[in-house]
Amino acid sequence: MRRIYIWFDLAIYLAVYGYCLREHRPGWQYIVGMFFGAVGLFLWLTARLQIGDSFSARPRARELVTTGLYSKIRNPIYVFSTVGLIGICFAMRWYVFGVVYTGFLSLVQWRRAKAEAAVLQDAFGERYRKYRAQTWF
């Protein structure tokens, strides 16, 4: 089931990105926004692959992933999905939607990250505290 999530998420991201490519909006905003959309997609996908079987829809402590992007950022999936979303909204000039949805998404992701941190703290104790002290968000 965990492998289905990545393909489902990737299909949605690519569909939205494809729509934005088809509905090209001339100007520097489009170029900059689509660049950040692509970077967000690439790094989000990288984080999803690096977390591997430790990914789950609900907070669970299978393994403490501390390599790759996870060596610098505790929640790279959340960070880079937000970067991609902001980039796409900027490219398409969806400013109001971008601000509202990004604010909502950030709140949901912050709460989820907090719940995940509690689960990892319980499971890995001092090892997780040390990892948390050395990484951002």
**Separation of alpha carbons 37 and 49, rounded Å:** 18
In order along the chain (137 residues), what is the average pLDDT of each group of 10 residues? 75 90 91 96 94 84 94 96 95 94 93 95 96 94
Report the pLDDT value the prediction gives residue 10, as an integer from 0 to 100: 86
What are the domain boundaries of the chain?
A: 2-55+63-133
72: nearest Cα among 39, 45, 47: 47
Report the pLDDT value the prediction gives residue 94, as an integer from 0 to 100: 94
3-state secondary structure 62-113: CCCCCCHHHHCECCHHHHHHHHHHHHHHHHCCCHHHHHHHHHHHHHHHHHHH
